[in-house]
Structures are given as structure tokens and as C-alpha cells.
Amino acid sequence: MALEKYRQKRDFTQSPEPAGGKSHKSPSGRTARFFCVQKHLASHLHYDFRLEHNGVLLSWAVPKGPSLDPSTKRLAMHVEDHPIEYGTFEGVIPSGYGAGIVMLWDRGTWTPEVEDVDAALTKGDLKFTLDGYKLKGSWVLVRTKGAGWSSGGADRSWLLIKHRDDWAGDVDIAEFAPLSVKTEGDFADILSADNPDIWRSNRPAKGGETGAMFEKIIARALEMRSGRSDRSGRSGGSDRSTSSSKRKAAASSKRKVSTSKGKIVARKKTGARKAR
């Protein structure tokens, strides 16, 4: 019944999110298992931090995203468990709970630094090591108040903190590495691959900073979709030329990502030396 609250909040006839019908057995003890972070633009922008445990993804919403600076404590609100299948989800939730755009921002494995994860969660002090594309090294989740733990998130307020190690530093990782690890795209790329028309008049947020973000993203997604439609109407020779250009662009993008990863590591380590 761990996913009962997750399913109650969603209409799977309208949302492309996975319902999580399959049962999963997660590793125990200090064995590595899956983690991910999803960047979610809904009524506000936030990052969903998820750790696999007991066949589900334990989940926390981090409004400002993870920080590599050990002196920065990020608020992490414990939310309902998600199915393991959610760990690969990236796409558009058109309406209802969580309506918006979901990007797979990071993924990899996490390894508990304690033998008993359940006891650590009950205590409100879970130490672990991440090995993702963007987040690495030692971290801790600390409950700020409350005296218990429940999968439904009764004691919701936690802090996500980076421990001081070679992967710590002053790089703003959310700003430095903003793109998807699944597609290497941004929110506009994800929306343009779906249906940019869905929010012409009823987007998830209309006012403030988030509303302005949606407006720009929707306009760019519509422009990208229009550009693809124009190209698809050209001759076969033109299509072959376009395909060739796409392959070159993809190769260039992979080179850039590879270089960027190197920069992230270098700058992280530089920051770590400064912090010592």
C-alpha cells in the first residue's frame, strides 16, 4: 500500500506518469541502489529528490535544488512515495496534480552510509553517498522537526546537506548543469516533443516568475514545433540534409556535454579545496 497516496492524487487516464503496477525488491544494507532528481516546473519550479528503498522511490521536494556547498542547507519537503518506474519519467503532465513539465535532471546510484536505512529514517538522520552524473559524494538528509517517519510524509520538513569532500564546492550545479541527463534538452525541448498547444490559455502558472517562465518556454516550444513541421514538408534531398545536420549537431552536443562534465568535476574540486 506504499503507493496508495501517489495513486489517489493522479488520474492516469489524463497523466502520462507511471501508475507503478509492478512490485520491486530493493537491495538492503549498504548496497547501492537507484536514485534520481527530477526538475519539475509546475505551479513553481522545484527539484524532486528520490531514493530507492523497499521497492519504491522515497521522495523529497527541494524548492531551490541541491547545493554542493556544505554550508548551504536546502529545505527538502518529504512527499508521497513514487513507483520505481517514475525514475525514468520525463515529459508533460497536462493537467491535474503536478501539472507541468518534468525533466530527468540527474540519475545514478545511492549507497547508504548506515546499515539500517529504516532506523536512520525513523531517527531523522540518513547519511548516504551519491554517484550520479551531477551529484556525487557524501550527503545527509536531516529531519528538522517531528519524532517519527511515515511513507506518507507526516513529518515533512527535512534538510538536504552536502558533506565536505572532494565533490563539494561553490559551483551552483543547478545553474551550471541545467539540462536533462536523458535527452540533453531543456523544458522547451521536452514540451515541443509533446504538445505545446495544451497551455495556450490555461497554463499551470500565469503570474509571477513561474508564469513568465512558462510563457517563454511555451513560445519557444511552439516555434521549435513549427520549425520541425516546415522541415518535414521539404523534399527528400532536403530531409537527408536535415538528418545529416541533426547527426552533426548531436555529435557536437555530446562533445559539449563531455567537456561540461569535466568542467563540473574540476570546478567542484577547486571549490572543495577552498572550503577546507
> Can you give the pLDDT at residue 129?
98
The whole-model pTM stands at 0.81
pLDDT of residue 251: 44
Whose CA is closest to 114, among 77, 139, 87, 147?
139
Question: In the numeric block, which cell numbers belong to residue 148?
Answer: 517519527
Residue 87, SS3 per DSSP: helix
Q: Cell 522537526 maps to which residue?
A: 145
The pLDDT tens digits for 27-65 are: 999 999 999 999 999 999 999 999 999 999 999 999 999
Give the total number of structural domains in the chain. Answer: 1
**Cell numbers placing 94:** 497536462
Residues 74/162, Cβ–Cβ less than 8 Å: no
- Average pLDDT of the residues in 198-217: 85
- Nearest Cα to Cα of residue 141 among 180, 149, 107: 149
**Cell 532528481 -> residue:** 37
Q: Which residues contact 272 (CB under 8 A, 6 or more apart)?
A: 164, 165, 166, 167, 168, 169
Alpha-carbon distance of 238 to 56, in angstroms, equals 47
The whole-chain average pLDDT of the chain stands at 84
Query: Which amino acid would we find at residue 68?
Result: L
Domain of 232, in residue numbers: 1-276
Q: Which of 35, 61, 58 is nearest to 46 (CA)?
A: 61
pLDDT of residue 42: 94
Which ranges constitute the DSSP H helices of the chain? 4-8, 117-123, 173-176, 187-192, 208-232, 236-275
Q: What are residue 268's phi and psi, to 5 degrees? A: -65, -45
